[in-house]
Every structure is written in C-alpha cells, then in structure tokens.
Amino acid sequence: MEKSVPETKTKLKVRPESPLQKYVREFLEYCEIERNKSELTIVSYAHLLKRFVNYCAEVGVNKPEQITLDTTRNYRLWLNRYRDGSGHGLKQATQNYHVIAVRAFLKYLIKRDVVTLAPEKIELAKNPARQISVMNSDELKRMFAATAQEPNETSRLRDIAILKTLFSSGVRISELMSLRQDSINMKSGEFTVRGKGDKLRLAFLSADTLAALAAYLKKRTDNDPALFLSVSRGNSVTAAIEGQSKPVSRHKAAGLTARSVQRIVNKYAKLAGIMKPVSPHSLRHQFATDLLQNGADIRSVQTMLGHASITTTQIYTHITNEGLREVHKKFHNKK
C-alpha cells in the first residue's frame, strides 16, 4: 500500500538504484540514441525524473507497476506545496514540465510493454495566459540609436549588428550564438537555423540589417568563422591552431557568450532610458508582434518563430489587437 505524501520540507533521500531508477536510466539512453534528443533535453529529463523517482521511493513506489493515478496526483500535490530554502514555490509552468517528463517516461514504458500507468490518464494543469511586455517603435529606435554611444568602433558595429539581427530574424539567443559567417547569404538575406527539437527553418534579414552586418564584418581583421566575436579576446582560427588561444565551441562564438549578448542588449536598453526589462528574447517578441501588427498571418509567424504549436504563437495576439480599440471608440455608446 502506498505511503502518505511526504512533507515538502523533508529532503528526499537518494537510495541505491531501484527498478524504477533503472528504467529511467534506460529511458534517458533511449532519448539519446533512438530519439536523438539534444543534450539539454536529456539533462532536463534527468533532473525532473530524478525528483519523481525519489518522491516515489519516499512513498514506497519502486516499480513501474506500482505507479497509479493516486501516485501521480499526490506527486503533483507535493510539487504544488514544495518550497525551497528561501520559501519559494514552483511556478505552474514548472510543475507542468515535471508532469510532461513523467508522461514521456510512462509512454516509453508502455512502448516497451512494461506494465504501468497509462500516460494519457494524467492531465496537465491549465497554465494562466502568458503576458509579455514589448517595446513600442519609439523605444526600439532609441535602443538602436543608443549604440552610437559606444566609443569602440568594432564593438559599436558588432552590437548594432547583433541587435538588428535579433529583431530582423526573431532567432533565439542560442541560435544567434551558433551562427557562422558562412551561415548568411548576404545577397538574399536568408539563413538556415537549427532550432528546438533539432528542426531546421529559414530565417530572413532586412536590408538595413545586412548593411549593419557587412559593416561589422568589413571592420574585422581576424579569420574566425564565428559571426559574432568577443572584441576583447579577438580569438581566431589561426591563433587557436598556434595554441595562443583555446579552440572555441560553436555555441560560444570566440568568447561572446549568451550572457555577453544579454549584457549588450541590457546595456543599450538602459542607455535608451527604457525602464521595462529588456532581454535578447524581448527582441524575438518584438519581431513577432511587429509582423502581426503589420498584417502578417499567424501561421506564417508561427513558422518563422519555429513554434511547434500555434498555441505558443497566440500569446502575441492580445498585443496586436490594436484595431479593436478603434472599433470600440467608433461604435461604442453612440446612441
């Protein structure tokens, strides 16, 4: 018989590998080999399922056949009541990520003909609608103009190229960091992005973004293939070969890390006097809302963002319904 739900303040104990832990390990190997999931996805599954397995051990559930609907319900109750050392709980979206991981694991067990709870019996909690904050056109222009305050010419040219690439293409920061000089077709303004789920999609750059990139690349004197470099380090392929600097990961672009890009975006937002939080992902939001406000259909925007579900893209629609205000003003209470 399953034990009662453990107190959330009690740290879950790590025990020797149980049958359930063995299956989780095999599931992670399956994700790596058969499903070719990204390293980030596998690490995330490992973290989320470790918490589930440790919870199960605390309530006396160590085998797949012992997992019941009550097990998962009580686990979700435990997640909802969980508090860390600072007294903070888990957001609803984070709780849902835990449940999604459990469902994926159960689906794998069913596929292997292991007796366990049917994953479709577990329903996800409804997330509250996401509210996103975007800049208006004046704030965006001021942010671009703020790059003129950077005294180092190479940094200035690189930074405006980064800001315009983020806004013009809507790429994620990880996708930006993986770009190489030969990724961009400077004539057509197109490039291919490998996004989430290892899916490829086509991205586009405006004429002024291409001009900004051309000016930045013309200023560079190195031979590093990465599109964006850390100006201070100035790594190059030749230097790496000669042992003067370390070879660079394709995701770190010669020292220009994702954190560096975040600092660059934040720097110019502050210089532009923008009080709301602004990040590289904010420019992705800006890209989507700009397209929708100018008449683009939501399906096309979904494709350009690389969203698997249109539901994800629909978070932008409440921002783009500016025309509704005019309809209300024109027709409301006119009698």
Q: Say which of 76, 98, 103, 307 is annotated catalytic.
A: 307
Q: If phi over 0 gives left and psi between -120 and 50 gives alpha, with beta otherwise, what is residue 185?
A: beta
The reply to whether 172 belongs to the active site is yes
First to last CA, the chain: 69
Asked if 77 contacts 55 with a C-beta cutoff of 8 angstroms, the reply is: no
Q: Say which of 37, 76, 284, 285 is annotated catalytic.
A: 284
Q: Say which of 25, 51, 142, 281 is annotated catalytic.
A: 281
> Which residues are registered as beta bridge partners of 190?
185, 204
Q: Say which of 45, 75, 216, 316 is annotated catalytic.
A: 316
Q: Say which of 172, 216, 268, 285 is annotated catalytic.
A: 172
Cα distances from 53 to residues 12, 32, 202, in angstroms, run 10, 20, 40
The reply to whether 25 belongs to the active site is no
Q: What are phi and psi of 100, to 5 degrees?
A: -60, -40
The reply to whether 35 belongs to the active site is no
- Find how far residue 138's CA is from the centre of its chain: 27
Helices (H), the chain: 19-33, 39-58, 69-81, 92-111, 137-145, 153-169, 173-177, 207-219, 237-241, 258-271, 280-293, 298-305, 310-313, 317-320, 322-331
Q: Say which of 196, 233, 252, 267 is annotated catalytic.
A: 196
The reply to whether 15 belongs to the active site is no
For the chain, the C-alpha Rg in angstroms (whole number) is 24
Output the CA torsion sign for 289, 294, 295, 301.
negative
The reply to whether 196 belongs to the active site is yes
**Greatest pairwise CA separation for the chain in angstroms:** 81
Cα distances from 47 to residues 51, 53, 78, 101, 260, in angstroms, run 7, 10, 16, 10, 27
Indicate which residues carry an active-site annotation. 172, 196, 281, 284, 307, 316
